[in-house]
Amino acid sequence: MKRSLLCRIKVWLSRFRYRRGYGVQSPFAYSFFRDILFEEMPYYGFDKLRNLSDPYLTRHTLQVLYRIVNMQKTGIVLDILPASSAVSCYIGGVSSRNRTISLVNDNVLAKRISDDTSELGIFVEVKNSNILKELLQINGSLGKITFAHVGLTDDRKLLYEICKVLSVSMSANGVIVIDGINRDYVKDVWMVLNEEKNASVAFDLYDIGILFFNGTLNKEYYKVNY
């Protein structure tokens, strides 16, 4: 669930020196801090999404995911194991030129995503079946993945297998976002993913991890007071 007020204060104090990119030397990282993580100007697309919510992600975080997809070149955009329809709506609402796919294993949630995206005029393909099988099929038939969001799951093996497939399926400037990296079993998988040879810059926001697969960038790991 979302952090309590006490937890937010503790995390904020522990990461105070990492606020808003202070001391960051990399132009790429500084731009990401300024233009994506801490951008305060709303995008026009946020208006129709304002009533959506997620049990784990704040509205600010949902908007960050929107901004990340918006900064990428068009391509394959995935929402894997979401907890609600919110992420699919936000990332699917960026551009109709993207092919946005939601991979779920829950009939009720699959219908909710289909209903909410349809109501908002957002096209998202919802696949409610074996997630790994669908992911492998996407990788084999649709090409490289531009953006992937991976939600929380108690199945560590499944999480590991999903990330393993994603690590070899990302485009040259692809981004993976992992929920819940403050949890031990997720953090382990997150750190393994960071060691992949094609992984480069990582942003640790405590609740989520953002990892770029960009071979032109040096490996860097930034903890963020977010």
Contact 147, 91 (CB under 8 A): yes
Residues with Cβ within 8 Å of residue 222, at least 6 apart in sequence: 18, 24, 29, 201, 202, 203, 204
Q: Specify the 3-state DSSP secondary structure of 94.
A: coil
C-alpha to C-alpha distances, 187 to 11, 160, 183, 184, 204, nearest whole angstrom: 16, 11, 6, 5, 10
Query: What pLDDT does 139 receive?
Result: 80
Radius of gyration of the chain (CA): 16
Query: What pLDDT does 23 receive?
Result: 52
Query: What pLDDT does 21 receive?
Result: 46
Q: Check the CA dihedral 192-169-201-96 and report its sign.
A: negative
96 pairs with which residues across the strands?
A: none
User: What's the topology of domain 5-223?
Assistant: Rossmann fold (3.40.50)
The position carrying tokens 């105070």 is 16
The structure's pTM equals 0.89
Query: What pLDDT does 225 receive?
Result: 78
Report how far residue 29's alpha carbon sits from residue 37's, in angstroms, rounded to the nearest whole number.
10
Query: What pLDDT does 191 receive?
Result: 95
Q: b/e per residue, 185-224, with b = 16+ CB within 10 A?
A: ebeebbeebbebeebbbbbbbbbbbbbbbbeeeeeeebeb
pLDDT means over runs of 10, the chain (226 residues) = 58 51 71 88 88 94 96 93 97 95 96 97 95 89 90 94 94 94 93 94 94 91 84
Query: What pLDDT does 4 receive?
Result: 64
Main-chain phi, psi angles of 153, to 5 degrees = -150, 145
